[in-house]
Amino acid sequence: MIAVGNVLPTGMSEAVVASAYGGPEVLSVIDVTVPEPGPGQVRIAVRAIGVNPFDYKVYGGVFGADPAKLPLRLGTEAAGVVTAVGADATGPAGPVQVGDEVIAYRAPGAYAAELVVPATSVVPKPAGLSWEQAGGLMSAGATAVHVLEAVGLGKGETVLVHGAAGGVGLVVVQLAVARGATVVATASPAKHELLRELGAVPVAYGPGLADRVRAAAPEGIHAAADLVGTDEAVDVSLELVSDRSRIATIAAFERGGQAGIKLLGSGPGGDLGTGIREAARLQLTEAAAAGRLRILIASSHPLREAAAAHRESMAGHTTGKIVLLP
């Protein structure tokens, strides 16, 4: 193993854990041991961490509440600087070296100041991205790629995106526009100007949504992506898209399962899309580096304020990604 500067081969790090199942009040910060990276592993000094709904669903009991799994480490994505590498530490873009600025996804336990992950989880951070943007790129970005692949969106088609101003939605909009598609994007009116800047046709959600979408897309909707999980999103998608295989949800697993639309992600019956999401990583960094993909940050919080970050995310009114900073 190679170490850098005064970073010790082994040491301690702060990490956020859930000590019980429940709401954000169960979160605390503890000291954890950071091991040496073994063969094929790297150690990262974390600079930013992406906050995702999956994180609080884990300790909220959505995926079960086995007390034997407590305390739960949280997080799946982070960005930082490589401080040590094990033998044969090679990632999707090639060998990983000490001093590399990287993005780690998937990175279990990412809510920490230091992290050891497989080198295969690490891709180079685009130089033009801030740490906050890099920390919030991968989970939303990979999910967005999965959504567009699942609905088979092509050039010249029109897609309805529910929840377009959220972390995943903003990436879906940009990638869909880049494919040559027309995007009709639901969001609150305060967020419409941003969506227009990104190339979408914004509409307000609420009563009468289907009629507003028809007016915005008189030639019809080919596919729909539900990123919010509301009954309205599912109902309007079913009303406007005749082919249910071209409707996908990342949130409405019960309703979606009953309706026969595609379920994406870690919910019950969901398609994890592991291969698609892993392949998306270098596509996303290349698009971000080239300036074709903007990562908008809603807010940042110190690592020790993860509970506040989760409360903000749960409220559901953010524009872009929430990140934690060790």
Query: What token pair was written down for 305?
Result: 């304020």
Q: Which residue intervals of the chain bear CATH 3.90.180.10?
A: 2-137+295-325
Alpha-carbon gap, residue 37 to 88, rounded angstroms:
11
User: Integer distance in angstroms from the first to the last C-alpha of the chain?
Assistant: 24
3-state secondary structure of 324: strand
Alpha-carbon gap, residue 113 to 45, rounded angstroms:
6
95-118 core/surface letters (b: 16 or more CB in 10 A; e: else): ebebebbbbbbbbebbbbbbbbbb
CATH of 2-137+295-325, picked from 3.90.180.10, 2.70.160.11, 3.30.70.2860, 3.40.50.920, is 3.90.180.10
Q: Which residue intervals of the chain bear CATH 3.40.50.720?
A: 139-263
Query: What token pair was written down for 58?
Result: 């884990």
141-171 core/surface letters (b: 16 or more CB in 10 A; e: else): bbbbbbbbbbbebeeebbbbbbbbbbbbbbb
Q: What is the DSSP letter of 298?
A: E
Spatial CA neighbour of 45 closest among 14, 88, 87, 89 = 14
Residues with Cβ within 8 Å of 89's Cβ and at least 6 positions away in sequence, in order, are 37, 40, 41, 42, 95, 96, 119
pLDDT in tens, the chain (326 residues): 344 433 434 589 999 999 999 999 999 999 999 999 999 999 999 999 999 999 999 999 999 999 999 999 999 999 999 999 999 999 999 999 999 999 999 999 999 999 999 999 999 999 999 999 999 999 999 999 999 999 999 999 999 999 999 999 999 999 999 999 999 999 999 999 999 999 999 999 999 999 999 999 999 999 999 999 999 999 999 999 999 999 999 999 999 999 999 999 998 999 999 999 999 999 999 999 999 999 999 999 999 999 999 999 999 888 999 999 99
DSSP bridge partners of 46: 80
Q: Are strands 78-85 and 2-3 parallel, antiparallel or unpaired?
A: antiparallel
Q: What is the DSSP string of 228-288?
A: S--HHHHHHHHHH-S-GGGEEESS-HHHHHHHT-EEBSSSTT-B--HHHHHHHHHHHHHHH
61: left (phi over 0), alpha (psi -120 to 50) or beta: left
CATH of 139-263, picked from 3.40.50.300, 3.40.30.10, 3.40.50.720, 3.30.565.10, is 3.40.50.720
Which pLDDT score, from 0 to 100, does residue 280 have? 98
pTM: 0.93
Query: What token pair was written down for 177?
Result: 């526009």
Q: Are strands 247-249 and 262-263 parallel, antiparallel or unpaired?
A: parallel
CA-based max dimension of the chain? 63
- Cβ-contact 261, 234 below 8 angstroms: yes
pLDDT in tens, 54-106: 999 999 999 999 999 999 999 999 999 999 999 999 999 999 999 999 999 99
Which pLDDT score, from 0 to 100, does residue 6 have? 35
